[in-house]
């Protein structure tokens, strides 16, 4: 099954900001919410067991909060956050097909920017991160292999951030809630690549 989705990425950020290794009292940071296009590719081993690959690109801002809220946007970054989950699909014979899943998500940060650069940094770096993901969703058959889909994922992951040329660093639990809705199409690979060739018997003369 392939799906085209509209996805909301809603981080639940808990950040600790330090200067010279010492925690800045009352300082925090928040990763922005974003709405993005996304796709999934799901392979079914049978009617119930499947694996899914979720993928997209997104750009997020990191804003100062608390005692450093006046610094505004501390950084921005593009992310590539593929998630791989193993799934169990219920009610395989009906129109409504709920499923649950669990797996991992990897977030690669790239093209990082220093935001408003109130810190005076020469550059900023986010550490790439792995996280654990739980998932629940629903496919609704609308006929001829087409499905409506709604899906929720929750990932727990953390990253470290440092601003080059300054003494400022941060550690952040990002923990995004990923909510998707869209349209999917389920098909058989044999319809595309052809049925497995059969051995032909050749009669002896």
Is the pLDDT assigned to residue 196 strictly greater than 60?
A: no
> Domain range spanning residue 170?
2-193
Is residue 200 in some structural domain?
A: no
The string of DSSP codes covering the chain is -EEEEEEEEE---EEEEEETTEE-TTEEEEEPPEEEEEEEEEEESSSSEEEEEEEE-EEEEEEEEETTGGG-EEEEEEEE--EEEEEEE--TTSSEEEEEEEEEEEEEEEEEE-TT-TT--SEEEE--EEEEEEEEEEEEEEETTEEEEEEEEEEE-EEEEEEETSSEEEEEE---EEEEEEEEE---HHHHH-PPPPPPP----
**CATH number of domain containing 170:** 2.40.160.20
Q: Please give the model's pTM, rounded to 2 decimal places.
A: 0.88
Q: What is the rounded average pLDDT of the residues 121-148? A: 97
- What is the predicted pLDDT for the residue at 167? 96
Q: Is residue 203 part of a domain?
A: no
pLDDT in tens, 11-39: 999 999 999 999 999 999 999 999 999 99
Confidence of residue 204 (pLDDT cuts 50, 70, 90): very low
């Amino acid at each position: 099954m392939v799906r085209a989705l509209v996805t909301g990425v809603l981080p639940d950020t808990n950040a600790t900001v330090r200067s010279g290794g010492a925690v800045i009292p009352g300082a925090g940071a928040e990763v922005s919410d974003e709405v993005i296009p996304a796709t999934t590719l799901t392979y079914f081993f049978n009617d119930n067991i499947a694996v899914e690959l979720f993928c997209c690109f997104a750009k997020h801002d990191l804003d100062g909060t608390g005692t450093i809220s006046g610094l505004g946007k501390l950084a921005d970054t593009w992310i590539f956050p593929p998630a791989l989950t193993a799934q169990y699909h219920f009610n395989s014979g009906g129109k409504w097909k709920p499923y649950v899943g669990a797996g991992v998500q990897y977030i690669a940060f790239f093209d990082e920017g220093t935001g408003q650069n109130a810190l005076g940094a020469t550059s900023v770096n986010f550490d790439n991160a792995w996280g654990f993901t739980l998932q629940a969703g629903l496919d609704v058959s609308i006929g001829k292999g087409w499905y409506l889909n709604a899906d929720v994922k929750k990932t727990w992951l953390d990253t470290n951030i440092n601003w080059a040329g300054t003494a400022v660093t941060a550690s952040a639990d990002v923990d995004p809630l990923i909510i998707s809705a869209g349209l999917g199409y389920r098909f058989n690979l044999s319809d595309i690549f052809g049925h497995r060739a059969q051995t032909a018997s050749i009669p002896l003369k």
